[in-house]
Amino acid sequence: MGMVKEFKEFAVKGNVVDMAVGIIIGGAFGTIVKSLVSDVIMPPIGLMLGGVDFTDLFVVLKGEGDFLTLADATAAGAVTINYGLFINNVISFLIVAFAVFLLVKSINKLKRQEEAAPPPAPAAPPEDIVLLREIRDSLKK
């Protein structure tokens, strides 16, 4: 029973829950970035390059016939190198990496501001202590 109790304590700690939330949000963010690259960024780039669809850029290593799309090659069982999908994934990675960089940069800036904040001034001593010090100082003279 001790192991179950230890696991329960571990699982409900704030850090584990925070990490789980981060992983879930990161997965959703990755999906959004993938859609951004595939559906928003790459179509205009492909249009500027003469109507190229990057998802259909591939090289057939093994397979019979001329395939116009990657779906056709995959359906025919051809072995392909899908460099168009690789380009999409590299762009997705760069976007995610840049977003993470901006997040870390802003967190570091906040930490530096906290460290640079001057410490609070010490509280003034109570009035009775001040009076006792004055009496002590006057007796020394």
Give the model's confidence band at 141: pLDDT under 50 very low, under 70 low, under 90 confident, else very high: low
Tens-place pLDDT, residues 14-39: 677 778 888 898 888 888 888 888 88
pLDDT in tens, 70-98: 888 989 999 999 998 898 888 888 888 88
> What number of residues does the chain have?
141
Q: For position 82, what pLDDT does the model report?
A: 93
Chain mean pLDDT for the chain? 83
- CA geometry: angle at 90 spanning 42 and 101, to 5°? 105
47's tokens? 């249009």
- pLDDT band for 1, please (50, 70, 90 cuts): low
In angstroms, rounded to a whole number, what is the distance separating the alpha carbons of residues 110 and 103?
11
Contact 79, 99 (CB under 8 A): no
- Domain boundaries of the chain, sorted by first residue: 2-118
Say yes or no to pLDDT of 48 above 80. Answer: yes
The model's pTM: 0.60
**Overall average pLDDT of the 122-129 stretch:** 75
Does the structure show a pLDDT above 80 at 56?
Answer: yes
DSSP string, the chain: -HHHHHHHHHHTSHHHHHHHHHHHHHHHHHHHHHHIIIIIIHHHHHHHTTS--GGG--EEEE-SS--SSHHHHHHTT-EEE-HHHHHHHHHHHHHHHHHHHHHHHHHHHHHHHHHHSPPPPPPPPPHHHHHHHHHHHHHH-
- In angstroms, rounded to a whole number, what is the distance separating the alpha carbons of residues 61 and 33? 30
- Residue 41, pLDDT > 70, answer yes
- In the prediction, which pLDDT does 80 show? 93
What confidence score (pLDDT) does residue 21 get?
82
* CB within 8 Å of 10: residues ≥ 6 apart: 16
Q: Does the domain formed by 2-118 have CATH 1.10.1200.120?
A: yes
